[in-house]
Structure formats: C-alpha cells, structure tokens
Chain A
Amino acid sequence: MKQQKFLFIIISVLVYANSFAQKNISAVKEKHSTVRQLTIDPGIGIHSNFGTDLLISNLVQWNPKKHLSLASHSSFNINKILQRDFTGIKTNHNYSINQKFGVGTTFYSKKSSNTFLLMAGVKYTSFQETLINPDHNKVSASINSISPDYGLMYNLRKGVKKYFFSFRMYVPLYPWPVKDVNIYSVDGNMNNIALEFGVGIKIK
C-alpha cells in the first residue's frame, strides 16, 4: 500500500536524523572541514513517479550557527519528459517551478554533513494537452496552478574540500495531510518525492 510506503519513508528519514543526535559528541572535534557556513548546491534529479520528471534545482544553505541551518531551494521541473506524445493526444508543455525556504539543523562527521530541514513555499504548475486525432475536433486543455509546497528535506554532503558531492531527498507534506487528511490524497505526495544529485560549492 502506498500509505505504508510513505510511512516507511517518513520513519526512515526521522530515525536517520535521530541517529545523528548522539549523546556524547565531545569526541568530535570543533574544527571540521565539513563545517561550512554558506554553500550553493546545484543539482539535477527526478521525482519518484517512475522517474519521468527531470528536475534542475539549486539549494542555498546558510548556517549562522553550527547546528542551525537556513535554506532556499529553487527547482525547475520538466514533467513527464518521456510522455509527450500519446495516441491522439499531444502534450504542448508540462513544467513546474518550486521555491521553498526552510529551517533545520545539521550534523557533522569527519567526511560528511547531514542536514534536515522543514521546508515551505509555493509551486507553480503549467501544462497543456491537445487532442490531435483527425476524427475529432482539436481540443486543448490547460492547467496553470499555484499550490503550497510543504515538506521535509534531507541533504547529504560528502567531501571536505571546497567542492563536494551533494545528495538530497525531499518528501512533500502536501496535499496530504495539509489539503486533505484522507489517505488517498497521499498519492500526490508519493508522486512528488524528489531525489537530487549534484556538486556543491563552499562559499564561506
């Protein structure tokens, strides 16, 4: 069941986060090369809906304190990139733009850092389909929609130098449960879990 999968993903993210809140971190040295105050993480990614969406994104993260993280995530998504021509139906365009801001915390180890953020923002979606069957009238349907975008983001950085490998996962909390608590609406969440990879840059 999709709701069980979603529950498993949420629990996994939280347990993983919890594992970093160690009781005794005095052994961890104060001066880490994985500690970065300001970074830019461009990346590309997919959604969990069978990977038919292509995401081009950027995460700007500012750590004013070592364990306090503020972030801005921007994303341009080309949706259903492999499903543009269906029999008798053509997709004219299908894209979405996301902008979110978040707050969270970062845990550090010798060669990596792990950031957990609660994100909130907006998503703009635009798509248009047209019937192109010669036996029927040419009819177009278009959607231009703005929706809220809430969720949990996990960002892993591997590497100690100025440039580092970056991976992030975003689990939406919309439409379920914010718009509709009915579990069937979690389908919308499941189709928009984002997985992104890239190379980050330390600015400060």
Chain B
Amino acid sequence: MKNETVLIKKLVAITGAIMMIFLLGSCKKEVFNSGVTKEFTLQSVANGASYNIKVGQPSNYNPSAEKYATIYVLDGEEIFDFVANKCKEISENHAYKNVLVVSIGYGKDRSIDYTPTKISSITGGAPEFLSFIETQLIPKMEQDYNADTTRASRVILGHSYGGLFGGYAYCVNNKVFGNYILLSPSFWFDNLAALQMEKDNRAINKNQKQLVFMGIGEAENLGRMQAPFEAFYQTLHDNYSEIKLAKNIEKNLDHVGSRNPNIVKGLNYYFQNR
C-alpha cells in the first residue's frame, strides 16, 4: 500500500514536470535578429496618433543597388518577429528575394484603426489609418529604405480586425496594395459592411492584378466568422479575372491558434506566386 502511494506520487510529479517543460518551452518569445531591425515613430496627420514602426531588413540588404518589396504587418507589436523570421526562412529555403517587413504598432487603439465604420466610440478609424499608411508611411519607406514604389510590390497582412482592415483597403483603395494576406477576417463587422464595400467598388477593382490569400481556423465556430469568410472568397473567385486567390482552413485550430500557421501558409503563397 505504501509503495503504491509513493508510486502514485512519483507519477503525478513526473506528469507535472513534463507539463511544465512543455508549457515553459512553448512560452518562449520569438525574436527577430535585432541587428537588422530599425525603429522609428511616425505621427499621423490624419488622426494625430503616433505609431511605432519597426523595419526588418533582409540579409545582404543593399538599398543603394536594389529596391525591395514590402510587407506591412498589422498588430505588428505582437507578430512582427514571427513574420520577419518566417520571411527570412522562406526566402532562404527557396532562394527567393527577401522583403522588407514593416511592423505598424498601435496608435489610438486597434479597434479604432482597423474598423471601417463608426458603430461606437472605439470604431471607425480605418479611413484615417489607411490615409496615414498611404500618404506618410509608404513614402517614408520608399525614401529611406528604398522600398519598391509599385503597387505590386506591397503586401498588407492582418488577422481578425486586421484582416477586416486588409479587406477594407482591398475594396475602397485598391491602388495602395497589390497583395493581401487576410487571416480570420472579421467580415461580420457592422452587418457585413466589408461585403457591401466590395460590391460597391467591384467595377473599379475587378480588372486589377492582385494576389489574395485568405486563412481561417476550422474551429472558429462563433456563428459569425465562417459564412462571411466564405462569401468574400466566393465573390473574389467569381468576379475578379486578374486575381491570384487561395484560401486555407486550418484544421482543428480556432481564432488565435490558427493565426501563425496561416501566416506561414500566406507568406509561402505570396513568395511563390508574386
């Protein structure tokens, strides 16, 4: 009986130790090689907010001789390092030319900056935020970092409200970005406003060349994610002749869990098809 008790205690202790090792190992924060990251702050003329910007430079960065495609990352304070590392990994593994990765930090509030219509006091700032990107951030990237000036060289990557913002930019100001990575986009927002914006601007955008990758988690079953996602995808598929389009439904993962796997798939799709 005593041996049994001691054995059970040991099993519990071993199980606990294994769990701790897994959990603590998983909590390791991703870091991009800081030797090739530049930071600055830019104040928006449109909304007065200050945005912390990080620029991840590719290896062998040579701005005097080359122009670089640029990925603009929303929620950059959370995912910049992961995105920059994956871009480096993909470009090195497949001998693709790497890109500049631009993290856009939080200004007023992501709910304000990323949502296109005002339904509360903390929504509806996407027009000003897009204006900041188009008229201030992109010109600065082109001037100081020799970012490529063509639309086809610019990518917007966003998740959740960030995905909604990317969809908004696609619909109402399609000339800014030529490539869109829209992950778990909140297209349910304001009674499917993004779907209406797509419809309203379809005639202007339908013949533009663009690349769109859409990703979502299979377990996102809140009752408002999957149907709008599928509707937006089908609309692009049916109405846009010059589009490179792909989607991924990440198995068994939900809203937050599917983000990073879909970032990887989205970046791979972009690098392979740009």
Contacts and interface: CB of A to CB of B under 8 A. Distances in A.
Question: Does B associate with A?
Answer: yes
B90 to A, nearest CB: 17
Interface string A1-15: 001001100110010
B255 A187 contact: yes
Contacts of B1: 25-26
Contacts of B227: 89, 129-131, 139-141
Contacts of A25: 1, 5
A185 B221 contact: no
A127 interface: yes
A175 B257 contact: yes
B122 interface: no
A85 B56 CA distance: 43
B252 A89 contact: no
Contacts of A83: 222-223
A142 to B, nearest CB: 8
B230 interface: yes
B46 interface: no
Contacts of B219: 125, 145, 188
Interface range on chain B (Cβ under 8 Å from partner): 35 or more
B226 A143 contact: yes
A183 B218 CA distance: 18
B257 A141 contact: no
**Chain B at the A interface: SS class:** helix
A66 to B, nearest CB: 9
Interface in B68-118: none
A14 B11 CA distance: 10
Interface in A123-154: 125, 127, 129-131, 133, 135-137, 139-143, 145, 147
Given A86-B188, A89-B223, A129-B227, A188 B254 contact: yes
A135 B191 CA distance: 10
Interface residues of A, number: 58
A179 B192 contact: no
Interface stretch (A16-24, A36-44, A161-169, A196-204): A16-24
A6 B19 CA distance: 11
A91 to B, nearest CB: 4
Contacts of B229: 141
B257 A133 contact: no
A186 B47 CA distance: 36
A18 to B, nearest CB: 5
B228 interface: yes
A57 interface: no
B256 interface: yes
Contacts of B25: 181
A180 B257 contact: yes
Contact of A3 (B4, B27, B221): B27
B228 A89 contact: yes
Interface in B219-243: 219, 221-231, 234
A191 interface: yes
Contact of A129 (B4, B12, B224, B260): B224
Contact of B5 (A22, A88, A133, A180): A22
Interface string B3-33: 0111011001101100110110111000000
A188 to B, nearest CB: 5
9 contacts: A7-B20, A89-B228, A131-B228, A133-B192, A139-B231, A180-B253, A183-B27, A184-B256, A184-B257
Interface of B: 1-2, 4-6, 8-9, 12-13, 15-16, 19-20, 22-23, 25-27, 188, 191-192, 195-196, 199, 218-219, 221-231, 234, 249, 251-257, 259-261
Interface of A: 3, 6-7, 10-11, 14, 17-18, 21-26, 67, 79-80, 83-89, 91, 94, 105, 125, 127, 129-131, 133, 135-137, 139-143, 145, 147, 174-177, 179-188, 191
